[in-house]
Each structure stands twice: as C-alpha cells, then as structure tokens.
Amino acid sequence: MPYPSKTSPREILDEAMAQVERGGASRLSVRAVAAALGLAPNALYRYYADRDALLAAVADEGARLLLAAVEDAARGREGADAVRSLAAAYLGFARTRPALYATVMAQHDFPAGSRPAVEDLWDFATGLLGTLAGEGAADEATVAVWGLLHGAAGLDQAGLFGGRKPGGGGVAFGLEALLKGMARS
C-alpha cells in the first residue's frame, strides 16, 4: 500500500525560496528546508537530487516571477513605452527581491532537456526589443538594455547610487539613449 506524501515539490520550493529571500542563496540548505517543513532531509531528495538542484529550481521560479512582472508591466503598451515599463518592473523586482534576483542571475545547472524560465525572459525581451531595433538587431538590443538594467540593479544593491534610485536620472538617460539608437537603426 503506498504511503501518503508529507510534502510536495511546491512546498519544498516555496520554503527554499523563502529561505533564499531571507538569507541569500549561500544560506540555503537542504537540512534547514527539511527542518522548516518538519521532515527528515532525506525526504527532500525524493524531489530534488541535491542542494544545487533545489537552488536551480529556486532560480527558475524566480525567473518565472520576473518574467510575469515584466510581461504585466508591458501588457497593453507598445514600442518604447513597453520597454520603459519593462525596465521599471525589472528594476523594481531587483530592488524588492534582491536575493531572489541575484539567484536568478547566477549560473545554474538546469536539468538536461529542460527549458529554464530565464530563456523565456530572454525571448520576451528580444521580441519586444526586436519591434524597435529590427529583428536582425533584437539580440544586440536585448544585450544592451539587459546590461544597462542588470548593471543598475547591481549598483543599487551595492549601495553605489548614494540614495538615488535606479530608474531615475542615469538609468532613464541610458535607456532613452538606447531607445533613440534603436529608432535610428
């Protein structure tokens, strides 16, 4: 007779995400997740092979949340206005969920044959930027905009904006310069 499961992959992932958001990816441990769920650590290995697999799942879910945020922000908008909304949502996510954002942006070994959500995030951005820069320059435009936003998020997290918020003067200036350059190409 099969025994009832005391947990699910979703419950494990939710607790792992909560732990990452409280203390960063370096503080995530299978033992701590299991303890929070009232389980033996071995119970988690039924769903996640090891800590790295659990961390990759956290990163993937974080990328899904970031994608949902930028899609929602751009919905109903077109062209440069959609990109500005995407940028604001991206920076807002990085600012309000810094540990999860850092985990999303770190290198992970995803299961073979899987499609990590960060690829969907890339596809969404290239599709949107391709409408401005042209399909042939969509990848380059995405690298430029993503680089600007990721750099701004990193500078903000490091406290190097001196109290100024990203999305303000410098980031907006850089984004507008990129958008004007795309309009000329």
160: CB partners within 8 A, 6+ apart: none
Residue 126 contacts residue 83 (beta carbons within 8 Å) = no
pLDDT tens, position by position, 9-48: 999 999 999 999 999 999 999 999 999 999 999 999 999 9
Half-sphere exposure for 63 (CA within 13 Å, toward CB): 24
Res 1 pLDDT > 60: no
The rounded percent of the chain whose pLDDT value lies above 70 is 93
Q: What is the pTM for the complete model shown? A: 0.92
Listed by start position, the domains of the chain span 61-184
44: CB partners within 8 A, 6+ apart: 7, 12, 30, 33, 34, 54
The whole-number pLDDT of residue 150 equals 96
Catalogue the E-assigned strands of 28-172: none
Which CATH number describes the domain made up of 61-184?
Answer: 1.10.357.10
The whole-number pLDDT of residue 184 equals 63
Query: What whole-number distance in Å separates Cα of residue 64 and Cα of residue 129?
Result: 19
Cα distances from 108 to residues 52, 111, 142, in angstroms, run 8, 10, 21
Res 2 pLDDT > 70: no
pLDDT tens, position by position, 82-93: 999 999 999 999
C-alpha dihedral sign at 58, 59, 60, 66: positive
pLDDT tens, position by position, 93-128: 999 999 999 999 999 999 889 999 999 999 999 999
